[in-house]
Amino acid sequence: MSDRFNAFLHSKLKPLVGSEGPLLGTNIAIKDNILVKDWPATAGSKILEGFIAPYDATVIRRLKESGATLVGKTNLDEFAMGSSTENSAFGPTKNPWDIKRVPGGSSGGSAAAVAADLCDVALGSDTGGSVRQPAAFCGVTGLKPTYGSVSRYGLIALASSLDVIGPFARDAKTVEKVFSVISGADKNDQTTIDYNYKQIEIDLSKLKVGLPKELWELSIDPEIKAAVRKMVDWLAAGGAKIVDVSLPSVVYALPAYYVILPAECSANLSRYDGIRYQQSVMKEGQKLLERYMDTRALFGSEVKRRILIGTFALSVGHYDAYYQTAINVKDKITADHERVFKEVDILLTPTTPGLPFEFGAKNDPVEMYQSDLLTVAANLAGVPGLSLPCGFSKSDLPIGAQLIGAKCQDNLLLSVAKQYQEETDFHLKKPRGI
Ligand code: GLN
């Protein structure tokens, strides 16, 4: 499949057409870090060019058994590291709302493919915001499920303690349908939890919504704040009780994340040695170490940066100062969420601090990392988060609101999102020309 947004990779794949089940007739695109048997899987990296997946990820097996049609593989930041899809070795994906702008990342191809109507649903993975942030940038709905509710078997690992696969669709109803198929315990992933998705219908007048003040106080584009405030008003008009809450530890979420993630990915990426996975031919007379080095030179600069940082953070003498400190912060963030969900049912924040930005606008890595300010805490706490369209900027760019729930309350977030989408039409608006 080819497209003018570079949302898809591997243009010559033939769709795998489903035959029966609840997802019959649903066209689903798959982020290229999830294995589909006999299809390529590059994770957006030169290092995996030519690699063909030998088996189906558990989510793929479940989609196939549900009759879904798999239409292709979508572009991503290399090994899912990034917030703009500019880090893909195969060129950036363009935002269908404005092709001068990024679609977000790392699941930018998946979000753009849904926004451009190239498929009904796309799977992404979210380690620090990679489903929610591109969903917000592309004006679609995206769920980062509870950690462990969806099997990671067959997902190319980034940071195993944070990674989770989640669906994108235009509306929450479709997201829910796909989530109910892909979720559930899996003997091939020992971190999966006993999880039987149950659809619920929540009475808004019984809902208590918390606005975490530490997140709302961050520097957020005023147009985004105003649009999300309107969603707060909608909840209040439906009878929901709105309260300010405090999660003091979330201000440390981003620095802790950018220690834990590099630490885990430096270990996970050590397997790309030029011997396994990719087709690589040893040059005549080449020493093993040279072969490792030639192979690993294929990583892009963001991946190299994180491997270096992670290796440093885990090294003797630095482990306690960096990695252990970050893990302590993660525990505090988890505890803060557990406490706050005794006071309120859900949290509401903007999904992103800024609007979709232009290509090349964030050259400084730390500036790029700021894109994840509002999303990483949910990954560290292991709780579900959902981004849904809640408005547009004056320049006609989509704005996303983020709902966060207690562990395993994905159904509560989806119920609120469905009711919102029954009464508003932000999710139905399409980019010009689509
Ligand atoms: N943007 C974040 C990062 O670069 C999140 C990545 C993700 O969720 N895969 O790490």
pLDDT of residue 283: 77
CA of 130 to the centre of ligand 1 (A): 5
- Burial class (CB within 10 angstroms; exposed 0-12, middle 13-18, buried 19+) of 273: middle
pLDDT of residue 1: 47
| Choice among 31, 94, 177, 418 that is catalytic | 31
Task: For 335-374, give one letter per residue: b (16+ CB within 10 A) or e.
Answer: ebbeebbeebbbbbbbbbbbbbbeeeebeeeeebbbbbbb
The interaxial angle of helices 222-237 and 410-423, nearest 10 deg, is: 90
CA of 195 to the centre of ligand 1 (A): 25
| Tokens found for residue 131 | 């489903």
pLDDT of residue 141: 99
Give the ligand 1 atom nearest the CA of 80. 9
CA of 16 to the centre of ligand 1 (A): 29
CA of 280 to the centre of ligand 1 (A): 28
In eight-state DSSP terms, residue 105 is S
What are the backbone dihedrals phi and psi of residue 351, each rounded to the nearest 5 degrees, phi first?
-80, -35
Give the ligand 1 atom nearest the CA of 162. 8
Q: Is 208 a catalytic residue?
A: no
Q: Is 45 a catalytic residue?
A: no
For the cut 50, the answer to whether the pLDDT of residue 308 exceeds it is: yes
For the cut 90, the answer to whether the pLDDT of residue 172 exceeds it is: yes
Alpha-carbon distances, residue 405 vs 118, 217, 311, 385 (angstroms): 30, 20, 33, 7
Q: What is the 3-state secondary structure (H, E, C) of 122-160?
A: EEEEECCCCCHHHHHHHCCEEEECCCCCECCCCECCCCC
pLDDT of residue 151: 98
Q: How many residues does the chain have?
A: 434
Is the CB of 379 within 6 Å of ligand 1?
no
Is the CB of 372 within 6 Å of ligand 1?
yes
Q: Report helix, strand or coil for 8.
A: strand
What are the backbone dihedrals phi and psi of residue 221, each rounded to the nearest 5 degrees, phi first?
-50, 125
Is the CB of 109 within 6 Å of ligand 1?
no
In eight-state DSSP terms, residue 189 is B
| Choice among 83, 88, 106, 387 that is catalytic | 106
The arithmetic mean of pLDDT across residues 171-179, rounded, is 98
Q: Tokens 């609007």 sit at which residue?
A: 355
Q: Which of 315, 372, 367, 333 is nearest to 349 (CA)?
A: 372
Tell me the percentage of the chain whose pLDDT exceeds 90.
Answer: 93
CA of 24 to the centre of ligand 1 (A): 32
The arithmetic mean of pLDDT across residues 400-426, rounded, is 98
Is the CB of 78 within 6 Å of ligand 1?
no
Q: Is 106 a catalytic residue?
A: yes
- Burial class (CB within 10 angstroms; exposed 0-12, middle 13-18, buried 19+) of 392: middle
Is the CB of 162 within 6 Å of ligand 1?
no
| pLDDT band at 280; cut points 50, 70, 90 | low
Give the ligand 1 atom nearest the CA of 83. 1
Give the ligand 1 atom nearest the CA of 379. 8
Alpha-carbon distance of 231 to 275, in angstroms, equals 52
Q: Tokens 């195993």 sit at which residue?
A: 160
For the cut 60, the answer to whether the pLDDT of residue 411 exceeds it is: yes
Is the CB of 83 within 6 Å of ligand 1?
yes
pTM of the complete model beyond 0.85 = yes
The arithmetic mean of pLDDT across residues 319-338, rounded, is 97
pLDDT of residue 279: 59
Is the CB of 131 within 6 Å of ligand 1?
no
CA of 290 to the centre of ligand 1 (A): 30
Q: Residue of the nearest CA to atom 5 in ligand 1?
A: 128
Greatest CA separation found in the chain? 74
Work out the mean pLDDT of the chain and round it to a whole number.
96
